[in-house]
Amino acid sequence: MTPDELREEASRVLDTCVEELTRAGSLRPGALIVLGCSTSEVAGARIGRASVPEFGLVIAQSMLSVCFERGLHPVFQCCEHLNRALVMEQSVQEALRLTRVHAVPRPKAGGSVPTGAWKLLASPVLVQAVQADAAIDVGDTFVGMHIRPVAVPLRGTYSALGQAHLTMAYSRWPLIGGERAAYTEETP
């Protein structure tokens, strides 16, 4: 697969995924969506073994575009070499008062998609953790640690991007109070 072929597929797949998450999770403008992605897996290799920086840039650009169109904040999970820290826009980090950490992602230490996002964002920063409203996991990168409880798996239109397995989840507010409690219809 070439970067141009991936651009078309990534745009289509991520647009659909973000739309489905927005609908199912009742996401509003300002919501955080984490993307964890292994370009090795997208290219058909084992996770962490064959990072493809050109794919990272393409996928990061696609995610940024589809999120910005909807007023959502994309967040990009790094690999375990950066302790699964996340790349995001500094203004979002400041507004949410998230803990910044100091590193710059690279394809072999952070991942190709976070590296691509770092290059594309106006003022990128790295944060230690978030509690996002939804997440997309491309290549089994385990983004669940960054979803606000209670995470709800979502089976969408697509189950792969390139050769990588794709899963999604959104969060809902915890339901408390037991059988005597009443809940509104607005509960996502």
Q: Residue 165 burial (CB < 10 Å; 0-12/13-18/19+)?
A: middle
Q: For residue 166, tell me if it sits in a domain.
A: yes
Full residue range of the structural domain in which residue 77 is found: 3-174
Q: Report the domain count for the chain.
A: 1
Q: For residue 182, tell me if it sits in a domain.
A: no
Whether residue 188 is predicted with pLDDT greater than 60 in this model: the reply is: no
Q: For residue 42, tell me if it sits in a domain.
A: yes
Q: For residue 67, tell me if it sits in a domain.
A: yes
Q: What is the CATH number of the domain that holds 115?
A: 3.40.50.10360
Quick: pLDDT tens for 94-138.
999 999 999 999 998 999 999 999 999 999 999 999 999 999 999
- How far CA 41 is from CA of 10, 27, 37, 53, in Å, comes to 14, 28, 8, 13
Q: For residue 188, tell me if it sits in a domain.
A: no
What is the model's pTM? 0.93
Quick: pLDDT tens for 31-88.
999 999 999 999 999 998 899 999 999 999 999 999 999 999 999 999 999 999 999 9
Q: For residue 8, tell me if it sits in a domain.
A: yes
